[in-house]
Amino acid sequence: METGTAQTAEPPGQRPEPVWTGLPKALLSMRRLLLVAWMVPIAVALGVLLGLFVGPVWAAFAVLPLAALAWGWPMLGRNWRSWRYAERSDDLLISRGVLWREETIVPYGRMQLVEVTSGPVERHFGLASVQLHTAAAATDARIPGLLPEEAERLRDRLTELGEARSAGL
């Protein structure tokens, strides 16, 4: 798991730089396996069907899904590296995106529900996702591909902080 830079001393009145945490490498492995699991059978089926019904020359179009696989492999790596989150004293930051960077700030006091989910493929790779629900649907946030222990720790911590902060509202 990647982590960001350590907190440094800042001039008075400014917040220290958050400590960012990246996502586990197992998420990248899972996404790449799913890419191969979809693109290779599509390429084979496309090649066979075009070769049988249209002609062998048209079967060359089966390379298109393979080209998508070759393009998608490094893009998944770039996307995986872009995901990170940081826990601050008053809120949770989630940052993601390669071309369009998106940073979501979820104040602890606004959290209404924190869910941990894990589908069959995620469970096979030993991963879980944390879904944060707030009063405003636009600020709902998700952190995919965490280790189950980290997802549960984050859920418990965020729930505890959310209850403490919302009591003061």
Percent residues over pLDDT 90 in the chain: 69
Look up the pTM and report it: 0.83
| Contacting residues for 44 by C-beta, under 8 A, at least 6 apart | 62
- Top pLDDT among 83 and 140 is at 83
Sheet arrangement for strand 21-22: 21-22, 84-87, 91-96, 102-107
Bridge partner list, 103: 95
C-beta contacts of 74-83 below 8 A and 24+ residues apart: 76/28, 76/31, 76/32, 76/35, 77/28, 80/23, 80/27, 80/28, 80/31, 81/2, 81/22, 83/22, 83/23, 83/143, 83/144, 83/145
**Ramachandran region of residue 105, left (φ > 0), alpha (ψ -120 to 50) or beta?**
beta
Whether residue 16 has pLDDT greater than 70: yes
How does residue 33 score in pLDDT terms, banded at 50, 70 and 90?
A: very high
- Top pLDDT among 40 and 1 is at 40
Provide the token pair at 103: 């940073």
Average pLDDT, the chain: 88
**Is there a contact between 106 and 139 (Cβ–Cβ < 8 Å)?**
yes
| pLDDT computed for residue 43 by the predictor | 97
> Around 69, how many Cα atoms within 13 Å sit in the side-chain half-sphere?
17
pLDDT tens for 49-82 read: 999 999 989 999 999 999 999 999 999 999 999 9
C-beta contacts of 131-134 below 8 A and 24+ residues apart: 132/92, 132/106, 132/158, 134/106, 134/110
